[in-house]
């Protein structure tokens, strides 16, 4: 099952003594937790797909459409991760082009 990424709430302005990135409990930034969640989602859906393929190839799976559904979930999770990476790289390159 694909777990939805948590909705981003309002981010309070950073104070002088705080870091620029919003930090969740445990000291992990919100940015890092979004990527960790997306990576874990890809790993989970890939494991689900591999398990379904194994069950189908050994004849233990009654419904072959389960393999196609698992493969589609994995493809969507990978696509989401790639898009997140692309948007992060675009934002980084935009920040590096800004003049101070």
**Which pLDDT tens digits describe the chain residue by residue (100 residues)?**
566 566 555 555 555 554 555 566 666 788 889 999 999 999 999 999 999 999 999 999 999 999 999 999 999 999 999 999 999 999 999 999 988 7
| pLDDT recorded at residue 51 | 96
Measured distance CA(79)–CA(71) in Å, rounded: 12
| pLDDT recorded at residue 27 | 64
**Which tokens is 75 given?**
């493809």
- List, in sequence order, every residue forming a beta bridge with 23; answer none if it has no partner: 29
Total structural domains within the chain = 1
Judge whether 68 lies within some domain: yes
Measured distance CA(73)–CA(80) in Å, rounded: 11
Judge whether 22 lies within some domain: no
Judge whether 43 lies within some domain: yes
Measured distance CA(43)–CA(47) in Å, rounded: 6
Judge whether 81 lies within some domain: yes
pTM above threshold 0.85: no
| pLDDT recorded at residue 29 | 85
Computed on alpha carbons and rounded to an integer, the radius of gyration of the chain in Å comes to 19
Judge whether 9 lies within some domain: no
Judge whether 8 lies within some domain: no
Judge whether 45 lies within some domain: yes
| pLDDT recorded at residue 31 | 83
Residue 85 belongs to domain spanning = 30-97
Judge whether 44 lies within some domain: yes
């Amino acid at each position: 099952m694909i777990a939805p990424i948590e909705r981003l709430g309002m981010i309070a302005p950073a104070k002088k003594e705080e870091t620029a990135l919003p930090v969740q409990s445990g000291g992990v930034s919100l940015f890092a937790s979004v990527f960790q969640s997306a990576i874990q989602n890809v790993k989970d859906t890939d494991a689900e797909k591999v398990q379904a393929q194994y069950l189908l190839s050994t004849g233990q799976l009654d419904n072959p459409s389960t393999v196609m559904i698992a493969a589609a979930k994995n493809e969507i999770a990978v696509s989401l991760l790639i898009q997140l990476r692309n948007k992060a790289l675009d934002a980084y390159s935009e920040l590096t082009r800004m003049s101070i």
